[in-house]
Structure 1
């Protein structure tokens, strides 16, 4: 993390960097998760090729590699239907609210692993686009950062990323959502298609654009 902090400005210069987080609980500890936004695969290839030619970036990669035990990369496609239902612009346009003290925001990273097949993801996305607005209306603190499904990597994987001012606010929002009948109906509709559901609480790094 020290090396990443020292090269944070370079990362933002070379890559469409959105956020970097460490896991607090609910997932593998000593794990770092970071997000980038590309408009298409062509842009991704061009940006990564340019970064590979940058000597300072390659020096950072070489220096950090001994500290990495495992690395995984996924390409996710955002859900326009969910964003439209909530009136949200998408992950690239998300801006963290101004910092206030005391301030210890957490990001809840929710992952759904669905059954194989072409219909699993569309069914969940349609159900969430229908049910999320009422859930959000009952949650004053949560901010949707990203909603997407996997295109490369483990398929039929759907993720949500939400920002809360604190871990306590996150849990309070979850309790409030359980009292919303429309949201309860949504969960009942999608649960048969879900193999596994995991939620993790993440802390943004000091140099993360998403704070």
Structure 2
């Protein structure tokens, strides 16, 4: 099955900022007001998501699509040379950031296709317009060390995802992104799904448990998983994905 695995040609950079509680609201409002400037300086920005449940309450994550590491370098250089953006960034961040980190994820496009989503990946994701105010669920698997766990998980997901999607007859779930770490804490695999609400996500979970094929997939994957976590986020006002 390995020949069917298709990695994205670029990568998704995920930036995590933990804000100081007293500056959280001002930070988000300032970003909303500076949205046009941010979109110019961060052309790969896909989403900016604010923690709702299951994560640090003051965390904001942003997803950025890059065609290559060279493109990221060029974009970062251009952003640093943009005096207007630099001034705005300093004003936005001063006193607000408690911590910040960045990681790179390669997209598992064969899994995206198996879930019935756009096989071009996250950059092509188009959230349903009738679900304004939706939530995003970040699902993360920490796998054991070694070269094989990630490919094995991807193969298992390719086999099981069609059945998981099929039992979601109400089409509650929208897959936005799926991939594994290339830079950062390695052997981590993540899914990002969009739902109308957290309750709808729970209903989708219940439906998935009715699929014998999906339960078999989880049974295959579980021995390789050291830990598993989920968290829900809501789009910030300035987020392209809503």
Give the alignment's TM-score, normalised by structure 1.
0.95
- Residue 155 of structure 1 corresponds to which residue in structure 2? 186
Match of 2:146 among 117, 126, 130: 117
Describe the SS at the equivalent of 1:146.
strand
Alignment partners' CA distance in 2, 1:149 and 1:112: 9
- Length, aligned pairs only: 209
Q: Give how far 1:195 is off.
A: 0.7
After TM superposition, list the pairs within 5 Å mapping 1:92-107 onto structure 2.
Answer: 92-99=123-130, 103-107=132-136
Q: Does 1:51 align with 2:79?
A: yes
Q: Deviations over 1:163-196 (max 9, x none)?
A: 0011111000001111110000000000010111
Aligned residue for 2:231? 200
Residue 45 (structure 2) aligned to one of 13, 17, 35: 17
RMSD: 1.2
C-alpha separation in 1, matches of 2:179 and 2:192? 9
Whole-angstrom CA distance in 1 between matches of 2:158 and 2:94: 40
The alignment partner of 1:92 has SS state of helix
Instruction: State the partner residue of 1:210.
Output: 241
Secondary structure of residue in 1 paired with 2:57 = coil
Q: C-alpha deviations, 1:89-135, integer Å up to 9, x for none?
A: 310000111146xx431101101111111111111111011101110
2:232 is the counterpart of 1:188? no
Q: Is the 8 A contact 1:135 1:177 kept in 2?
A: yes
- Residues 113, 158 of structure 1: 8 Å contact kept: yes
Superposition pairs for residues 111-150 of structure 1, below 5 Å?
111-139=140-168, 140-150=171-181
Q: If the length of structure 2 is used for normalisation, what is the TM-score?
A: 0.83
Q: Is the contact made by 1:138 and 1:180 (CA closer than 8 Å) also made in structure 2?
A: yes
8 Å contact kept, 2:112–2:175: no
Choose from 67, 76, 83 the match for 1:39.
67
- Specify the alignment match of 1:8 in structure 2: 35
| Higher fraction of strand | 2
Distance in 1 (alpha carbons) for counterparts of 2:166 and 2:113:
15
User: Which of 101, 114, 117 is the equivalent residue of 1:72?
Assistant: 101
Distance in 1 separating the partners of 2:209 and 2:36: 41
- Residue 15 of structure 2 aligns with which residue? none
- Structure 1 residue 57 displacement after superposition: 1.4
